[in-house]
């Protein structure tokens, strides 16, 4: 009963306009795509991370409201189900020009030696933080500009990515509207 109530609340966030967009989008799909669309939509709005996190829910619905296409829906679902394993983190590190954990530890070294921490302490802290990658609720994020390493909750990382996706979609929508005029 509780889960049903939450799902209904999620769907209430999607305004009438978005529901009309969904219907229009659904009309363009063949039967297998429509099945995939419905399945993906259901997975997204029954996802515990989304339903129980208001900020994340708002971020999802913002992106969803801007583009309800099947491809976008699949992208949102992939983001919400982010892999918290090493592969996701290594990809993130590579994007920020940090190609291996030795480099990551060098960054720790620079930062922590300034604070007077010993190599043993550094190694312990580095390993401890890197091991948090596989924790259920946390993953590592690097700030390339400040060389900071933060352990963030998965939901915080998802919110950031969705916010950035929302911004991209809004900019694209604005530029399309400008071109039409």
- Residue 65 confidence class, pLDDT cut points 50, 70, 90: confident
Residue 33 pLDDT more than 90?
Answer: yes
Q: What is the structure's pLDDT at 86?
A: 47
Mean pLDDT in residue range 49-77: 87
- Look up the pTM and report it: 0.61
Domain-by-domain residue ranges, the chain? 2-81, 82-181
Question: Between these two residues, 174 and 86, which has the higher pLDDT value?
Answer: 174
The Cα–Cα gap between 176 and 173 comes to 5
Question: Between these two residues, 134 and 172, which has the higher pLDDT value?
Answer: 172
Q: What is the residue-averaged pLDDT of the chain?
A: 71
The Cα–Cα gap between 48 and 38 comes to 18
Collect all residues with Cβ–Cβ distance below 8 Å to 155 and sequence separation of at least 6. 49, 53, 55, 56
- Residue 39 confidence class, pLDDT cut points 50, 70, 90: very high
Q: What is the structure's pLDDT at 22?
A: 85
91-118 in b/e form (b: 16+ CB < 10 A) is: eebeeeebeebeebbebbeeebeeeeee
Helix (H) or strand (E) holding 152: strand 148-153
Lowest-confidence segment of 66-80, 98-112, 114-128 by average pLDDT? 114-128
């Amino acid at each position: 009963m509780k889960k049903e109530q939450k799902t209904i609340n999620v769907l209430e966030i999607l305004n009438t306009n978005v529901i009309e967009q969904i219907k229009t989008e659904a009309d363009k799909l063949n039967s297998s795509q429509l099945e995939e669309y419905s399945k993906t939509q259901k997975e997204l709005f029954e996802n515990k991370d989304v339903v129980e996190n208001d900020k994340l829910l708002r971020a999802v619905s913002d992106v969803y409201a801007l583009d309800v296409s099947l491809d976008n829906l699949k992208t949102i679902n992939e983001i919400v189900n982010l892999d918290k394993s090493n592969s996701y983190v290594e990809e993130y590190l590579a994007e920020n020009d940090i190609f291996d954990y030795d480099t990551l530890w060098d960054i720790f070294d620079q930062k922590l030696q300034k604070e007077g921490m010993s190599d043993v302490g550094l190694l312990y802290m580095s390993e401890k933080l890197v091991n948090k990658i596989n924790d259920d609720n946390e993953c590592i994020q690097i700030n390339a500009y400040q060389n900071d390493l933060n352990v963030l909750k998965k939901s915080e990382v998802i919110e950031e990515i969705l916010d950035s996706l929302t911004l991209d979609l809004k900019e694209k929508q604005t530029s399309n509207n400008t071109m039409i005029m």
